[in-house]
Structure 1
Amino acid sequence: MNTNLNVTNSNVQTNRDIIYNRAKIWQIALFVLNNTATNVTMVLMGFYAFFTQNVLGLSAIIVGTIATTMRIWDAVTDPIIGFLLDKTNTKFGKFRPFMLIGNIIMFLSIFAIFHTPLDYSVAQKYNYTTIWYVIFIIGYTFQTCVTKGAQAALTNDPGQRPIFSLFDSIYNAILFSLATFIITTVMAPKYPKKLIDPDLWKDVSLMFMIVSFVLTILAIIGIWQKDRTEFFGLGKNNVKIKFKDYIDILKNNRPIQMLTIAASTDKLALVAVRAGMVYFFANILLNSSLQGKYSLYATVPTLLASFVGVGWARKVGIKKAFVVSTWISLLMLFLLIATAPILAKPTWGTSVLILLILMALQSAAASLAGNIVIPMIADCSDYETYRTGRFIPGMMGTLFSFVDKVISSFSTFIVGAAIAWAGYGNTKIVPNTPVNNKMTLAIYFIIWGLPIIGHIASIIAMKFYILDAQMMEKIKKAIHERKQVGSEA
């Protein structure tokens, strides 16, 4: 019979023989804002190519090459900064300095990019924006590595970790639904040159980064009480770690291996789908404007899936929730492929509506699986503590990010290759005009075929992912017993 017993320290709770480090709901709700704060910056940097080309007058090809290079730089910085995070333990904590310093770096760099002097020469503009982009990536990695790493200290209760995904889904739905709307619909019309007005981007960058900074401060408050050595793994910070420990983790931590395979293949597909959906609405449904409405309405089932799915994950375990939601999404994808030739008829209003509903339901199931990946990284970090005694959440999270970014970076190449195969590699694809049958197949492959491949890889990987609810209970108990021995020694 399971019993819950409150003890003197309100931060912990016993379950059978395990003492869980539990967080208050408000602490989880606030800490999740760390991820939202960095997503605010990514919304802005999503306009980097548009700003540099249409406001600064730079070449789209060169800017695209710079952006791709920065993604590689982003991956390279991950393991380095993750290692530094695990080596850090100050009076201000392990995680809070990285959150604050990272956001300040991003604040300065984004402000600088969107305030690039217009009287600079073309070469100066390239150099100026690229240097600040490099600096931005450093700050971004500083703060994002905490999102994945600090969860292991925030709570180790398997019933609480999925709550992160719930708040994250809500915050991101609000952010991504409103951010572009505010920039393009609310603010841009107020400026003489609309979206290409330099003053617009100066004001947008300042406003958004103030929001990001405030969210970071709230997230720091959320992790404040848990950013202490007693909540780090075995409750001590004297475990020696070396950079070469990454090799040992890659070789011997099977859960992070399998989770990385599962998440990165799904991420590759997700990035490709975002690009492919533009062609789906513009060249199959022949209605580009419909995509914005669909994206808005599709957030409803996504949020509902998060509410229901997270509550279910707290009962059955994160692994099972990930596998089942992936299976649901996979079956829905096969259903979409089977029905698309019948339903994807621009002149059939009802059939298109049915198709979009099916797509929204599939997306909701896929998003649930994607959203609970971050709590699973915390489980992998606990497994590393169980396996070696090392508390290295920074290295675990950034190792995951490094592989994830490298694999998902191939999505752009795959999309380009599919379009080239269809015969449109060097042809302008006019919106709201039909395309040939090969291009139709290429679009279907991008938006549905790639996710199927990613889901199959995920399901196979999860066969070798041992961190189910029972194993996590065993790990938490073992860590607790070792902490007790250490405290008595």
Structure 2
Amino acid sequence: MSNVKTAAKDKVPIGQKAAFGAGHLVLNLLPGALGFFMFFLLTAFGMDPFLAGLLGGLPRIFDAITDPIMGFISDNTKSKWGRRRPYIFVGAILSGILFAVLWQLDAENSQSYNFWYFLIFSLLFLIGNTMFATPLVGLGYEMTSDYNERTRLMAFANTMGQIAWMVTPWFWVIIADPDLFADQAQGVRQMSMVVAAACLLLGVLPAIFCKGIDASHMENRKEISFKTLGSNMVDLFKGIAQVSKNKPFMRLCGATFLVFNGFQMVAAFSFYIIVFYMFNGDYDGAGTWPAWFSTITAVLTAFAVIPIISWMSDKWGKRKAFIYSTVISIVGYVLKWWGFDPGNPWLMFIPVPFMAFGLGGLFTLMMSMTADVCDLDELRNGMPRKEGTFGAIYWWMVKLGQALALVLGGLVLKMVGFISDAPTQTMETMTNLRIADIAIPSITAALAIWVMWNYSLTEARAKEIKEQLVERRGEL
């Protein structure tokens, strides 16, 4: 266990943790709601499945481009409110408003009109969301310089972020309820405004209450203007090149890519297994079991798993905590073979506490370790600090992998013989699907452990780097 106590000046006050956590709730709620709402493009607005796929994929490509640009801008911004907070404030407002506008579709409009309306406002929404999300992540990396306090901050934020995943699985139940809305289209329009209002109100809190490092005397920041656009792009690519040479950071990206996207590839499989294996294609019989499965997972992740992982990190260090939590998640994946029992649906919750260690440990620990990596980069490459760039590239890897996982997940469904419009599936198909549901995330998790086995940025090394930076900056 670490014997180093966190200095008072490095502790993040509970109010700031709560505000930062509110930002993370929004960070999870917006994409979570977007994912569930996309289902209704087909059922409520009659969108062609291919066009709906384009509306899901094209904005992701645009999003991958804007993230590093926003990271570079926020790293080099000079303002009396700091480098991140102005963008978080404006981005939260834009994200909320544009999310609501995005879903004001009408089934009576032509398919072409709805396609272009949704595509244009998706791009505008993503600009606002990137303006909010990328600086928020960067702000979290700089709120404390203490090795263990970083983990506690990220644990707190990710606990609040899990609230979004307790809520979003129920959107499809609420929107499709004829007692609440005249039709699904009306449900989507009205629920989008509820989500938007919540995101706007919660999203501005980090901008108002959270404090990053004092950047007033930070050297070597680039001028951001239309006149310097060309040189800014050159500097951006130089910064990305520097980040890509940071071996500890690339290990974090590789492990995240494997764990998260192994999980994402099979994320929808649980729904299909519950409906077609446990209830033999009877959607009414399956009822709200899939929603409860997702909600219980989020509850256990937030209030049981993340606190345990924070304790593990304090006791054994972040690398070992990641390895142990990932091993536990593999146990959970294997237990799904016995948990999905047609004779007793309650058994499906047995693997959940074990599986929750996967993503619960991943983002709590990886975000904390990325903050340590930012210190290493400053030591090697000097100012300005690049929290925004590191955060943008990390999440770019996540989004790229997520897009790939969605494609590969569909390929796996095709390979096992799953027929989407069939009322039931063959026993051979369901057996193969259940094997894939266990094998894919288990294998990718094991590979992630291998990637992180020789991760070198220990607590002792992080403390040594911090002392060198304090001496270099002339801080007391």
TM-score range, shorter chain: 0.7 to 0.9
Aligned amino acid, residue 413 of structure 2: I
> Taking every aligned residue pair, what percent have the same amino acid on both sides?
22
| Contact 1:173–1:299 under 8 Å retained in 2 | yes
Q: CA 1:461–1:101 in 2, change beyond 3 Å: closer, same or farther?
A: same
Aligned amino acid, residue 295 of structure 1: S
| Contact 2:93–2:204 under 8 Å retained in 1 | no
| Contact 2:175–2:181 under 8 Å retained in 1 | no
Q: Tell me, what secondary structure is at the counterpart of 1:245?
A: helix
Q: CA 1:397–1:298 in 2, change beyond 3 Å: closer, same or farther?
A: closer
Aligned amino acid, residue 241 of structure 2: D
Alignment match of 1:228 (pick from 201, 206, 214): 214
Distance 1:50 1:294 in 2: 19
Taking structure 1 as the reference length, what is the TM-score of the superposition? Answer: 0.85
| Contact 1:419–1:439 under 8 Å retained in 2 | no
| Contact 1:158–1:317 under 8 Å retained in 2 | no
Q: Which residue of 1 aligns with 2:206?
A: 219
Q: CA 1:89–1:261 in 2, change beyond 3 Å: closer, same or farther?
A: same
Q: CA 1:292–1:58 in 2, change beyond 3 Å: closer, same or farther?
A: closer
Q: Which residue of 1 aligns with 2:61?
A: 72
- 1:260 has 2:253 as partner: yes
Q: CA 1:26–1:244 in 2, change beyond 3 Å: closer, same or farther?
A: same
Q: CA 1:134–1:182 in 2, change beyond 3 Å: closer, same or farther?
A: closer
Distance 2:213 2:197 in 1: 24
CA displacement at 1:344 relative to structure 2: 4.5
Q: Tell me, what secondary structure is at the counterpart of 2:266?
A: helix
| Most deviating of 415-424 and 392-401 | 415-424
Distance 2:169 2:300 in 1: 21
| Contact 1:381–1:393 under 8 Å retained in 2 | yes
Q: Which residue of 1 aligns with 2:236?
A: 243
Matches within 5 A, 1:180-191: 180-181=169-170, 184-185=173-174, 188-191=177-180
Q: Tell me, what secondary structure is at the counterpart of 2:236?
A: coil
| Contact 2:55–2:115 under 8 Å retained in 1 | no
Distance 1:5 1:285 in 2: 50
Q: CA 1:128–1:26 in 2, change beyond 3 Å: closer, same or farther?
A: same
Q: Tell me, what secondary structure is at the counterpart of 1:193?
A: coil
Q: CA 1:5–1:313 in 2, change beyond 3 Å: closer, same or farther?
A: closer
Q: CA 1:2–1:172 in 2, change beyond 3 Å: closer, same or farther?
A: closer
CA displacement at 1:362 relative to structure 2: 2.1
Distance 1:30 1:116 in 2: 33
Q: Which residue of 1 aligns with 2:267?
A: 274
| Most deviating of 475-484 and 400-409 | 400-409
Count, aligned residues: 455
Q: Which residue of 1 aligns with 2:227?
A: none
Q: Which residue of 2 aligns with 1:63?
A: 52
Q: CA 1:343–1:170 in 2, change beyond 3 Å: closer, same or farther?
A: closer
Q: Tell me, what secondary structure is at the counterpart of 1:413?
A: helix
Deviations 1:401-441 (A, max 9, x none): 222222232112222222222223x55243xx453324422
Q: Which residue of 2 aligns with 1:418?
A: 412
Distance 2:417 2:65 in 1: 35
| Contact 2:170–2:291 under 8 Å retained in 1 | no
| Contact 2:163–2:299 under 8 Å retained in 1 | no
Matches within 5 A, 1:183-202: 184-185=173-174, 188-194=177-183, 196-198=184-186, 200-202=187-189
Alignment match of 2:443 (pick from 450, 453, 461): 453
Unaligned runs of 5+ in 1: 13-20
| Contact 2:246–2:377 under 8 Å retained in 1 | yes
Q: CA 1:172–1:32 in 2, change beyond 3 Å: closer, same or farther?
A: closer
- 1:362 has 2:344 as partner: no
Alignment match of 1:25 (pick from 14, 20, 32): 14
Matches within 5 A, 1:426-445: 428-430=421-423, 433-445=424-436
Q: CA 1:321–1:192 in 2, change beyond 3 Å: closer, same or farther?
A: closer
Q: CA 1:483–1:343 in 2, change beyond 3 Å: closer, same or farther?
A: closer
Distance 1:318 1:80 in 2: 30
| Contact 2:25–2:162 under 8 Å retained in 1 | no
Aligned amino acid, residue 293 of structure 2: Y
| Most deviating of 112-121 and 136-145 | 112-121
Distance 1:210 1:159 in 2: 34
| Contact 2:72–2:389 under 8 Å retained in 1 | yes
Q: CA 1:280–1:393 in 2, change beyond 3 Å: closer, same or farther?
A: same
Matches within 5 A, 1:69-108: 69-108=58-97
Distance 2:48 2:63 in 1: 22
Unaligned runs of 5+ in 2: 223-231, 280-284
Distance 2:295 2:161 in 1: 12
- 1:400 has 2:391 as partner: no
CA displacement at 1:228 relative to structure 2: 2.9
Q: Which residue of 2 aligns with 1:464?
A: 454
Q: CA 1:343–1:62 in 2, change beyond 3 Å: closer, same or farther?
A: closer
Distance 2:294 2:44 in 1: 27
Distance 2:409 2:171 in 1: 29
Q: CA 1:321–1:217 in 2, change beyond 3 Å: closer, same or farther?
A: same
Distance 1:40 1:213 in 2: 11
Distance 1:83 1:344 in 2: 46
Distance 1:345 1:38 in 2: 35
Aligned amino acid, residue 342 of structure 2: P
Aligned amino acid, residue 212 of structure 2: K
Q: Which residue of 2 aligns with 1:346?
A: 342
Matches within 5 A, 1:118-157: 120-157=109-146
Q: Tell me, what secondary structure is at the counterpart of 2:83?
A: coil
